[in-house]
């Protein structure tokens, strides 16, 4: 891997992360202001939407040259994302 492709991969990863974060915030805000009472259901829906965008973006853009099977990538990404979600929820619970 060349330094140019490493930098491009990093930039792609950051862009996908920013997009997923923006989508999560938008979906959460929209749901809590219009449809759903309660943070937990809105967070779950926003997480699922952002997860889909993040996974597909990373799968087909950031790591487009990966030879890993789709299902293996999905499972690995899901476990990592759920661990991140749980740790964030725990930290927020401790702070609030």
Q: How far apart are CA 67 and CA 63, in angstroms?
A: 9
pLDDT in tens, the chain (96 residues): 677 778 888 899 999 999 999 999 999 999 999 887 788 888 899 999 999 999 999 999 988 888 889 999 999 999 999 999 999 889 988 988
**pTM summary value:** 0.82
Nearest to 49 by CA among 69, 72, 31, 75: 31
pLDDT value at residue 27: 95
């Amino acid at each position: 891997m060349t330094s140019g492709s490493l930098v491009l991969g990093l930039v792609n990863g950051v862009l996908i992360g920013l997009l997923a974060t923006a989508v999560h915030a938008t979906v959460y805000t929209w749901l809590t202001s219009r449809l759903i009472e309660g943070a937990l259901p809105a967070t779950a829906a926003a997480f699922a939407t952002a997860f889909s965008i993040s996974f597909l973006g990373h799968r087909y853009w950031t790591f487009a040259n990966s030879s890993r099977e789709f299902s293996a990538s999905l499972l690995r990404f899901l476990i990592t994302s759920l661990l991140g979600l749980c740790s964030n929820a725990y930290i927020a619970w401790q702070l609030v």
